[in-house]
Amino acid sequence: MKVNVQAPNFAADVKLVDFIEKKLAKLEQFYDRIIFADVFLKVQKTSEKQNKNVEILISIPKGDLIVKKEARTFEEATDECVRSLERQLKKRKQKQRVFL
C-alpha cells in the first residue's frame, strides 16, 4: 500500500511519518486489498489542548473509507483513526464473505 502524508502549513517530522506508515501497514492484515492511503495532518489555531487533526482516506476497491479524529498529539489521533478503520475494514470483509 502506498501512503501519502500531507501536512499543510508545517513540515512533518520523519519520526511522525514513519509512525503513521507503520500503523497503516498493520491495516493490511485485516483487509489485503488496500490500494493507497492519504493522510492529512492539520493544526487548528485554538486555545484548546486538542488541536491536532488527522484525516485518513483509504482507497479500496468499490469505495473509499474516510476517518477524521482530533487529539492532543498526532500520534494519539492516528491511533484513534487506525482503530476506527480497523473496525470498518472488518465489517467490509464480513459483508463480502456473506455475499460470496
Is residue 100 over pLDDT 70? no
Torsion, Cα of 63, 4, 7, 59 (10° steps): 0
Per the structure, how many domains does the chain have? 1
Is residue 30's pLDDT more than 70?
Answer: yes
Q: Which residue has the cell 493490511?
A: 28
Task: Check if the beta carbon of residue 1 is closer than 8 Å to that of residue 34.
Answer: yes
* CATH number for 67: 3.30.160.100
- 75-92 pLDDT per residue, tens: 999 999 999 999 999 998
Q: Indicate whether 42 pLDDT > 80.
A: yes
- The percent of residues above 70 in pLDDT, for the chain, comes to 98
Three-class SS state of 62: coil
Q: Show the domain range for 32.
A: 2-99
